[in-house]
Structures are given as C-alpha cells and as structure tokens.
Amino acid sequence: MVLRRNHYEAAFEAYLRAQKIPYVAVDEKRRALAQDASIKSLDFIVYASQGPNLLIDVKGRTEISPNQKQSRRWENWATLEDIQGLQQWQELFGNDFVSGFIFAYQLPENSISNSLEKLFEFRGSLYAFYLVNIDEYRLKMKPRSQSWQTVFLHQQDFYELRKPVDAIIQT
C-alpha cells in the first residue's frame, strides 16, 4: 500500500479494499519515462472482473451543499497534462485498459444520497465516486483557464458522462 497524503485518494483506496477489488496503487512521486518523454503518473490500476481494466487518476473535490452557489456544484476540472497523461497510459497499456478520472467528492454532512450516488464513509466523512472515461471527457471538455491550462465539463455533460464507480467495477 502506497502512503497517501491526499484524503480523496486514501478514501478511494479504502473503497477498493472494502469492496475487495484488485488494484495497484501507483507511487506518484516518480514520473514514468516512456519513449524519452515523461508521463504524469496515474493513481491506480484497477482490475475489473467484467469489462476493461481501468487506469485511474483521482480528482478530489468538495461538493458544496445545495443551498450554496449552484455554479460550483460538482466541479470536474482537470489539467491538460492530466488528460495527456491518461491518454498516453491508455495507449501504452493497450486494448484491455481504459483511462479515466475518478471524481471523488467529499460530501457535506447533511447529504442525501440520490439514486446515482453510493456513499462511502471514510474517516468520518462521506464520499461519492464517479468515473468519467478520458476519451469521453476529452470530446466534451471546455477551456476553464488558459493560464493554468485547465479544462472542465459543463454540468449537463458531466451528468451524462459520469458513472458511479460501483456500476463500473463489478465485484
């Protein structure tokens, strides 16, 4: 087990362990070198019992309560480097693997689960995990900040593309 300082990644790893899903935690302190180029590390290689295996980059976000500013709900931004790295990993691993973001949301205490969310309790907090396939994300992404090289999905696109992790990773 890799020591995780990021509580979102630690929560997702705890989820994988609790569900007895086989995975490899990647030590992100070291960048991989492939074809003389550095590739941004991914966080997990997850082995699914059905369907393709997953190459995962966890993006942690705090989901704000519904009575706060609507435009900040379900943030899903990423950097262009994140996207390029996941695409490169997908190419390197081949057809049996699909890259994607796990958007890990730490939810407020008063959260009520909807039909899509399966909440996971970790260290006294509730989390919801959603997978967005990197190829689908890339097709719908919009520029967020040129100076920070970040992109995002409009809320409607995110709602259409996100899949709860437990529906993707069959146990």
Domains of the chain: 7-168 (3.40.1350.10)
Q: Of the candidates 112, 114, 125, 128, which has an alpha carbon nearest to the alpha carbon of residue 59?
A: 128
Q: What is the pLDDT of residues 71-126, one digit of tens each?
A: 556 899 999 999 999 999 999 999 999 999 999 999 877 666 555 568 899 999 99
What is the model's pLDDT at position 171? 46
Say how many C-beta atoms besides its own lie within 10 A of residue 118's C-beta: 14
Cα separation, 152 vs 28, whole angstroms: 23
Mean of pLDDT over the chain: 86
Q: Of the candidates 76, 77, 2, which has an alpha carbon nearest to the alpha carbon of residue 41?
A: 2
Q: What is the pLDDT of residues 123-151, one digit of tens each?
A: 999 999 999 999 999 999 999 999 999 99
Specify the amino acid at residue 119: L
